[in-house]
């Protein structure tokens, strides 16, 4: 029986021989981590056993290279991985730590069962409650909050969640609301943002969810992003970088000349609406930008040469200047999320 796949996606990995950083398709299994040169490869380029391994995060060995974590095996071999953004790194770190802990305890990796651990009533439908919370008119309001010189975009406080549950009569009191909110957190319907809520979710506090105005949370598909404030008020950004970041991550992009596919890190901003793409292995300056105002974005089944792609999840952006960009997501869900986010930005941005 093959080991269970826990998490997979693009990460940038540091080579063990030449010390160069290259994007890899990484798969977290119950007993190890496999990394592939391409997602479509039949076999992995390498495998890192997790038994006896230790994980270090954040890893600050590489100066300006952010969101790096390190795995050290029992043979004292160091493996360095870099995520595209903070929340992606933290998600990988949480799952890898849990996988290592499960190996040590001789247990199978499993997401926490809320109903068994918190004794959630069978009448509560967390999925339906989550959809109500996300309602744009009557749901929990997403805000841009500032704390410790950081701006947390598209998030809300723990107190706001409990307030909403009580005011909507989803719970009888705040204590019951805390139980339901903890259930939503454990099942992945809510995600912690910031050290206070992350520490509570990791078990440092008595309750995994905090009814606290300083504890921040976000919906997993909201486009949440945390960014540092600049201390230099005289810095003037280019117009295209002034927009709020609403989504980011790695996608495959087809080149306009050679038609080859490469992994790129994409950052989507709204007002003004731009999609910048970067070399995920390094470089602070974008390789290019797509002005999204008035663009059309759709899913497609073939690439520019008209041939059926070896992989699914393709989509196309056609700008107002009729420039075509072909991109490929890792999953159908990811493709849908990117299409919806780009469509929304193109309607509201400059």
pLDDT at 302 over 70: no
Q: Residue 235 has what pLDDT?
A: 37
Q: Where are the alpha helices (DSSP H) in 105-237?
A: 114-118, 126-133, 158-167, 174-186, 195-201
Strand 143-147, strand 150-157: pairing: antiparallel
Q: DSSP letter at 4?
A: P
CB 38 within 8 A of CB 14: no
Give which of 60, 47, 14, 183 is closest to 114, Cα–Cα: 183
Q: Residue 150 has what pLDDT?
A: 84
State the CATH class of domain 242-348.
Answer: mainly beta
Give which of 349, 347, 341 is closest to 154, Cα–Cα: 341
Q: How far is CA 45 from the centre of its chain?
A: 24
Would you kindly state where each structural domain of the chain is located, as residue ranges?
5-105, 126-225, 242-348
**Between 302 and 277, where is the model more confident?**
277
**Fold: same for 126-225 and 242-348:** no
Q: What is the fold of 126-225?
A: Arc Repressor Mutant, subunit A (1.10.10)
State the CATH class of domain 5-105.
Answer: mainly beta
Buried b (16+ CB within 10 A) or exposed e, 87-119: bbbbbbbbebebbbebbeeeeebeeeebeeeee
Q: State which H helix or E strand residue 97 sits in.
A: helix 86-104
pLDDT digits (tens, 9 = 90+) for 211-224: 999 999 998 766 67
pLDDT digits (tens, 9 = 90+) for 167-198: 998 888 999 999 999 988 877 788 888 889 98
């Amino acid at each position: 029986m093959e080991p269970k796949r826990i998490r997979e996606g693009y990460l940038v990995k540091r080579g063990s021989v030449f010390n160069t950083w290259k994007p890899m398709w990484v798969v977290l299994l119950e007993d190890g981590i496999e990394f592939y040169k391409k997602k479509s490869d039949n076999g992995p380029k390498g495998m890192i056993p997790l038994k006896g391994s230790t994980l270090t995060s954040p890893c600050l060995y590489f100066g300006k290279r952010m969101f790096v974590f390190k795995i050290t095996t029992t043979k004292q071999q160091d493996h360095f991985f870099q995520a595209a953004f903070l929340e992606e790194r933290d998600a990988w770190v949480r799952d890898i730590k849990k996988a290592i802990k499960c190996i040590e305890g001789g247990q199978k990796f499993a997401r926490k069962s809320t109903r068994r651990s918190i004794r959630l009533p069978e009448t509560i439908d967390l999925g339906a409650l989550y959809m109500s919370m996300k309602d744009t008119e009557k749901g929990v309001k997403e805000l841009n909050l500032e704390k410790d010189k950081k701006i947390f975009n598209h998030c809300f406080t723990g107190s706001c969640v409990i307030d909403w549950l009580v005011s909507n009569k989803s719970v009888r009191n705040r204590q019951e609301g805390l139980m339901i909110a903890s259930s939503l957190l454990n099942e992945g319907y809510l995600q912690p943002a910031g050290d206070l809520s992350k520490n509570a979710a990791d078990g440092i506090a008595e309750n995994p969810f905090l009814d606290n105005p300083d504890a921040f949370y976000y919906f997993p598909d909201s486009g949440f992003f945390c960014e540092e404030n600049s201390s230099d008020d005289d810095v003037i950004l280019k117009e295209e970088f002034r927009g709020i970041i609403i989504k980011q991550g790695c996608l495959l992009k087809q080149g306009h000349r050679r038609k080859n596919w490469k992994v790129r890190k994409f950052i989507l901003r709204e007002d003004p609406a731009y999609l910048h793409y970067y070399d995920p292995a390094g470089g602070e300056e974008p390789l290019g930008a797509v002005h999204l105002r008035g663009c059309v974005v759709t899913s497609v089944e073939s690439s520019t040469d008209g041939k059926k792609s070896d992989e699914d999840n393709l989509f196309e952006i056609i700008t107002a200047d009729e420039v075509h960009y072909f991109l490929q997501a890792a999953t159908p869900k990811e493709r849908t999320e990117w299409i919806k986010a780009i469509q929304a930005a193109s309607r509201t941005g400059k």
